[in-house]
Structure 1
Amino acid sequence: MKTIINFAKIFEEKNISYQFVGPTALAIQGIHMDVSDSIFIDIQWDSLEQVYDLFLDKLPSEIIKDVKSASFSFGYNENKVHIHCEYNTTIRTNPYRIAVEMEDAIVWCVSFYTYLYNPKADPMLAEKVHSYLLNKQNKMTEANQRAWNQNNYQALINRYGDPANAAAKIKENPEWRLHPFLNYMGDLQDKKILHLMGSNGVKGVALSLLGAKVTIVDFSAENERFAKEVAREAGVSLEYVVSDVLNLPDLIQSEAYDMVLMELGVLHYFIDLQPLFSTIHSKLSKGGIFLLHEFHPISTKLITSSGKKHKVTGNYFDPSLEEVNVAFSKHMGSEQQTELTKSLQRKWTIGEVVTSVGQNGFRITVLEEEPNHKIHDIGLPKTYTLVAAK
């Protein structure tokens, strides 16, 4: 890694835009890769001659050019360094270019997510990334599970009232609890629905009241307690499985469902969408549908609003992980909030979601972007609904 840091300092000193790519970029981000032989760097195309001159003492190869790109290589200590550029491409505006702190330097490289959504990416690199993310996901799930089993039951009481009161309100108008995605669910009578990360069971109880046979999967035992009590008060049957959705028990693995539902604030708990959507596809019967209702990334990643004022405060394409308080913390007292475990999130763009759904065998039939109904936020998307068939 010393060589990588040296190059980062050289390019920074000369104000040359660059990014480490390929196996080198993955190694910088913590993925185990053998980079002892070769280092791969993309540079700003109009800096090519300047970079070549910087390393004349290393006896670089001749520059190989075609109509799209140029490259050369040279030996540096025990490594072979490969320099490459794409003409008329601006390095600094690459949306997946990220900064990584290494010792006393900032090192720029392409995010490993690049290799999951680029059709020209090396499949071997993609597999390395998937494996790394799955391992990291499991560790994140353990932390998130601890967070969602700290005082969550009391937070639900604070928000919805006691289970009898919550059940009475749901029974008054179960359809309202399923707005706006109920429009895409059809006749619910006897439909087998798997609600992944179904949380407190409010949506599950509403679906059951409308005739569906509902199974909820969620890793919070406190959510399960509240959901079962609400279902009992509402007079409906509700199956609840306490489990991580990527490690479903045998009971769920053997079932085939008419519909899988995920809604509002759940995708950001997954740092790789491929295993999630693959799992969902495997749970559906032929012709079954996956229905996703989520917050729009324009409102979660890009724009913040206060009254009439709107500001672009984020980077829509930012692929980094974010540490936040668990969602229910706002319903807890300040003393209890300080005791809560943090939760890690990855916020996804619409393009990443649609691409991942399509890559896992689904046929997307609906993508509806729904407006914000607050008077000062008219014209901004708040949520979206995606419907995909198996």
Structure 2
Amino acid sequence: MDSVQVNKAHWDERAPAHAASSGYNIQGFVDDPELLSEVVRFDRQRLGDVRGLRAVHLQCHIGTDTLSLHRLGADVTGLDFSSASLAEARDLARRTGADITYVEAEVYSAPDVLEAGVFDLVYTGVGALCWLPDIRRWAATVAALLRPGGRLFIREGHPTMWAVDETRKDGLVALEFPYFERPEPLVWDENGTYVDTDVQFTHTVSHSFSHGLGEIVTALLGAGLELTMLEEHDSCPWDFYPGATVKDEHGEHRLAERPERLPLTYTLQARKRTA
């Protein structure tokens, strides 16, 4: 099975359910012109001033993080391979009066469908890299999009967290899945999604890929970027291990017992070297 087509069918079917869910709070964005997504709010200080920056949000899904970057003053373009996701993102932009351009394409094709070498900021949010098979090719894509001196900003699920078996009922932290990148995907067959919904899905199979933190950093360095920030966090925006986590006042989840045992997400920034 072709992973791109499998995952596109998976996300096309889930996009309307995500947009209708309370988890994405679409109506909240419409009602409150200052509302930012929880993911962007978490990293607001790390992100810094983006006013006037030409930005591209890779794997933007239904556009809540993209809209948040726009509200912070960036001239932002969103890119995703899911036509259904982009339909929801465009509708959100229309309802909020936001001037955002959305482009349908695979991540690796971004330099071909967007203007290469001109972006001040490449942004990627949580839960994106696990759908890409080749982290080195991703890093090369980021480098191709950025102008010299431009920066990458990403918050992502930690590779150690992705390796945890979250289905255990004993609360133990057990590493069951790959940490390092492999050529073959992990194949999942699940009839649900990560938001509360009554929708019954028919496209239940998805393919994911692991990338170690060292592999990610090394790929960026090899693509001509300089690391400027790498901060690991003991929390993530969703309940990654039901029954073993607690939720804080910011909507972040961490292990209820000894959260210092496990990194759940990280924030990384890197800058494209100048000549």
TM-score scaled by length of structure 1: 0.58
Percent identity over the alignment is 24
- Structure 2 residue aligned with 1:323: 187
Of the three residues 15, 21, 26, the one matched with 1:158 is 21
CA root-mean-square deviation = 2.8
- How far apart in 2 are the matches of 1:336 and 1:305? 21
Greater share of strand = 1
Counterpart residue type for residue 187 of structure 1? D
Q: Which 5+ residue runs of structure 1 have no aligned equivalent?
A: 1-135
- How far apart in 2 are the matches of 1:198 and 1:326? 22
Greater share of helix = 1
Of the three residues 256, 272, 294, the one matched with 2:156 is 294
- How far apart in 1 are the matches of 2:199 and 2:145? 41
Indicate whether 1:278 and 2:160 are aligned: no
- Structure 1 residue aligned with 2:127: 265
1:216 CA drift (Å): 0.5
Please list the CA deviations of residues 21-61 of structure 1 after superposition, one character each: whole Å capped at 9, or x if unmatched: xxxxxxxxxxxxxxxxxxxxxxxxxxxxxxxxxxxxxxxxx
Aligned-partner SS, 1:387: strand
* Matched positions, count: 251
- Structure 2 residue aligned with 1:246: 108
Residue pairs, 1:358-373, within 5 angstroms? 358-372=221-235
CA change 1:263–1:296 in 2 (3 A) is: same
Is 1:371–1:378's contact at 8 Å kept on the other side of the alignment?
A: yes
Indicate whether 1:226 and 2:88 are aligned: yes
Counterpart residue type for residue 5 of structure 2? E
Counterpart residue type for residue 144 of structure 1? N
1:330 CA drift (Å): 4.3
Indicate whether 1:376 and 2:257 are aligned: yes
* Bigger CA radius of gyration: 1
Of the three residues 184, 188, 195, the one matched with 2:50 is 188
Aligned-partner SS, 1:145: helix
Please list the CA deviations of residues 140-181 of structure 1 after superposition, one character each: whole Å capped at 9, or x if unmatched: 212222222225213321345784444335x34327441333
- Structure 2 residue aligned with 1:143: 6
Is 2:165–2:177's contact at 8 Å kept on the other side of the alignment?
A: no
Give 4+ residue runs of structure 1 displaced > 6 Å after superposition. 305-308
- Structure 1 residue aligned with 2:244: none
Is 1:253–1:283's contact at 8 Å kept on the other side of the alignment?
A: yes
Residue pairs, 1:104-143, within 5 angstroms? 139-143=2-6
- How far apart in 2 are the matches of 1:326 and 1:279? 30
- How far apart in 2 are the matches of 1:144 and 1:336? 17
Please list the CA deviations of residues 285-312 of structure 1 after superposition, one character each: whole Å capped at 9, or x if unmatched: 1100011211112221036487882232
TM-score scaled by length of structure 2: 0.80
Counterpart residue type for residue 8 of structure 2? Q
- How far apart in 1 are the matches of 2:155 and 2:113? 26
- How far apart in 2 are the matches of 1:225 and 1:261? 20
